[in-house]
Homo-oligomer: A and B are copies of this chain.
Amino acid sequence: MPVSGSPPPFLFDLDGTLIDSVYQHVMAWQEALSACGIALSVWRVHRRIGMSGGLFLNALQRETGRALDPGALAALAEGHREGYLRRASSVVALPGANELLAVLASRGVPFAIATSSAEQVAAAGLALLELPPGVPVVTRDQVQRAKPDPDLFLAAAAKLGVSPSSCFVVGDSVWDLLAAQRAGALGIGLLSGGYGEQELHSAGAYRVYADPADLLAHLEETGVRPPA
């Protein structure tokens, strides 16, 4: 239930939203797929980043018309994990990410992070952020279903002790924005994951900004006011 008078809590996606890691995920998936003999164009991989890995692999089997046995599915997931971590040293925080989180913290705006990544991969990204103590983080391991199901954002709101419908969800992918709608939250899209602006609007974005720095520059639009 939205509360009048207080700024909305923020639920942040991680990859492509706070850290510049989408393209490393894309290349790691493509490498893993290629190693398993699966040819999928790179742009099609890109458009799946941020969704549940399980759903990605389901869709992949349908699209390629090729059923994968449990061993192949495990090899793909492990290949992606290994390939991403090998590339993780080139990942940095997105412009304005730490500044945005610091401003929210200084103004008493609650926020949490909710990512489709498993704990180990998420930890490598979280290490790039200067998170104040006590910021809730929800990873893939903690929920039954990842994006575009709403579970991650519902769990993040629960950890903050707020209603999901009172929150802004900030994400770079259509999966974040679809999950936001499922959670009853308003979605803020960021171009920093490489989607087009219209793709984010079509997935239900309430507003679209370039990256965290651009969101910070327009923060009043979300109801977060400067100190009186």
Q: Among residues 189 to 219 in chain A, which have CB atoms less than 8 Å away from a CB atom of chain B? A: 191-199, 211
Chain B residue at minimum C-beta to C-beta distance from A195: B196
Number of copies: 2
Which A26-40 residues sit within 8 Å CB-CB of chain B? 26-27, 30-31, 34, 39
**Inter-chain contacts of A194 with B (CB < 8 A):** 42-43, 46, 194
Interface residues of chain A: helix, strand, loop or mixed (majority): helix
Chain B neighbourhood of A198, CB < 8 A: 196-199
Known: A27-B27, A42-B23, A191-B43. A34 touches B90 (CB 8 A): yes
| 8 A Cβ contacts from A57-97 to B | 90, 92, 94-95
Known A197-B196, A198-B196; judge A42-B27 contact (CB<8 A).
no
A191: shortest Cβ distance to chain B, in Å?
A: 6
User: Size class of A's contact patch?
Assistant: 20 to 34
The answer for the CA separation of A92 and B191 in the assembled complex, in Å, is 27
Q: Is the CB of B43 within 8 A of A192?
A: yes
List residues of chain B with CB within 8 A of the CB of A20: 41-43
Q: B31, B43, B92: which contacts A90 (Cβ < 8 A)?
A: B31
6 nearest interchain CB pairs?
A196-B196, A198-B198, A43-B194, A23-B42, A196-B199, A43-B192
